[in-house]
Amino acid sequence: MAFLEINDVRKQFGVNVVVKGFTLGIEGGEFLSLLGPSGCGKTTVLRMVAGFESPTSGVIRIDGKDVTNLRPNQRNVGMVFQAYALFPNMTVAENVAFGLKVAKRPAAEIKSRVDEMLNMIKLPHLADRYPYQCSGGQQQRVALARALAQKPKVLLLDEPLSALDAKIRVSLREEIRALQRALGITTIFVTHDQEEALSMSDRVVVMNEGRAEQVGTPFEVYNNPATPFVANFVGTLSVLKGKVLDAASGRIQIGKSEIVASRKLFQASPGDACSVALRPEAAVLENGHGGAANGAARNRLEGTIDDVSFLGSVVRVRVKIEDNAISLDTFNNPNAAPPQPGAPVVVSFTPNDVLVLDNAR
């Protein structure tokens, strides 16, 4: 039995059903992310676990206890919000102590726990400051410490990094993950940022229109997407339109050329339209810029450099191939000129790199 169980949960607001038969088991100490676009239902699921929303139907259990109809303060969960939600008239230390005071813990215990939490988030020197005197990153650390102060069974994080700048986001997500591992606390993290979900999580739930499209490790979700939605939402994809030549052997026509996919084409028939996709790291330029890989047989498509984007350590190249286009990544080499728009090139990739999107379930 999982530590946190969400069984066939449904949530309806009027005629609008935002969560549809959602079922998920989360193990003790697991860090799980709910990933998806705005409006997919991920925050509603989190709020139902927290007790801020009641399911229309279904059951939620924490550590074997049915909490479906319990109030938030009866569930022993901690929650961190996107907008910090700190009390502006309280100091940092008072904010961290707030839940403990409401629970009427002894003063000595409160002081000891607040000191422990502030040391854990590395902000003991800010104990007497007010929230407006702290940076966004510092305020979010305080909000995290306040959520953890009462030793909750489950930690819920509702897009806690989205209001921060890029460098602080990276730093803080590393700190959150390190704290979670050190404490061994079961955690649900809601985000629309795929990089956050993939880098922080033990497992990722990709949500779409109130349902879980796929549940798996970051490696599984990225490399083996279960549906066209997951393939397009997680990571960058180049989608090529083609038609099936032979389903059994995976032969597909792309423009005037032919490629081979190692994965099954299911019930496709010759002449059926299909879509295939490539990750940018899967394709290689065979004109000396990216270097062709040796070994296994590779698919090859001729095209023309359409655009070159410098992204720091990576150079993203867009290659026009008749009515299709492929984006691929090459490492930045300061001693070599990048590819130039208009130059003819050959793009190669292995059959294993071809994702067949149509009928991908």
Show Cβ contacts of residue 221 under 8 Å, excluding neighbours closer than 6 positions: 198, 204, 206, 214, 230, 234
For residue 317, what are the β-bridge partners? 308, 328
| pLDDT tens digits for range 9-51 | 999 999 999 999 999 999 999 999 999 999 999 999 999 999 9
How far, in Å, CA of 7 to CA of 77, rounded?
Answer: 18
Same domain, 188 and 325: no
- Tell me if 213 is assigned to some domain: yes
- Residue 55 tokens, joined: 């399911």
| pLDDT tens digits for range 182-209 | 999 999 999 999 999 999 999 999 999 9
Total number of domains constituting the chain:
2
Residue that has been written with the tokens 């007010």 in this structure: 130
Same domain, 159 and 287: no
Cα torsion 25, 27, 33, 38 to 10°: value is 30
How far is CA 109 from each of CA 91, 100, 104, 182, rounded to the nearest angstrom? 18, 9, 10, 21
- Tell me if 361 is assigned to some domain: no
pLDDT at 332 over 90: no
**Tell me, what's the pLDDT at 295?**
47
The CATH number of the domain where 283 resides is what?
2.40.50.140
**Tell me, what's the pLDDT at 134?**
94
For residue 243, what are the β-bridge partners? 253, 273
Same domain, 299 and 165: no
- Residue 63 tokens, joined: 């550590």
Q: Given pLDDT bands bounded at 50, 70 and 90, which one contains residue 289?
A: very low
Same domain, 92 and 190: yes
CA angle, corner 195, sides to 191 and 196, nearest 5?
45
- Tell me if 132 is assigned to some domain: yes
Q: Given pLDDT bands bounded at 50, 70 and 90, which one contains residue 296?
A: low
Instruction: Residue 229: name the closest of 247, 243, 244, 209 by CA.
Output: 209
| 350 residue type, one letter | T
Same domain, 182 and 285: no
pLDDT at 360 over 60: no
283-305 mean pLDDT: 73
pTM of the predicted protein model: 0.87
Contact 67, 216 (CB under 8 A): no
350-355 mean pLDDT: 92
How far, in Å, CA of 189 to CA of 169, rounded?
Answer: 14
Same domain, 350 and 242: yes
| pLDDT tens digits for range 105-136 | 999 999 999 999 999 999 999 999 999 999 99
**Tell me, what's the pLDDT at 166?**
83
Same domain, 220 and 136: yes
How far, in Å, CA of 261 to CA of 263, rounded?
Answer: 5
Domain limit, last residue, from 215, 233, 251:
233
Same domain, 142 and 42: yes
Same domain, 42 and 115: yes
- Residue 230 tokens, joined: 């997951």
- Tell me if 112 is assigned to some domain: yes
- Tell me if 266 is assigned to some domain: yes
**Tell me, what's the pLDDT at 355?**
87
Structural domain containing residue 201 = 4-233
The CATH number of the domain where 16 resides is what?
3.40.50.300
Neighbour count for residue 316 (Cβ, 10 Å): 15
- Tell me if 190 is assigned to some domain: yes
CA angle, corner 222, sides to 219 and 228, nearest 5?
145
Same domain, 250 and 322: yes
Same domain, 228 and 274: no
Same domain, 82 and 192: yes
Domain limit, last residue, from 233, 267, 302:
233
Domain limit, last residue, from 233, 267, 287:
233
- Greatest CA span in the chain, whole angstroms? 77
Q: Given pLDDT bands bounded at 50, 70 and 90, which one contains residue 333?
A: confident
Q: Starting from the edge strand earliest in sequence, which strands make up the sheet with 284-285, in order?
A: 284-285, 344-349, 299-310, 314-321, 324-331
CA angle, corner 215, sides to 209 and 220, nearest 5?
125
Cα torsion 265, 267, 271, 273 to 10°: value is -70
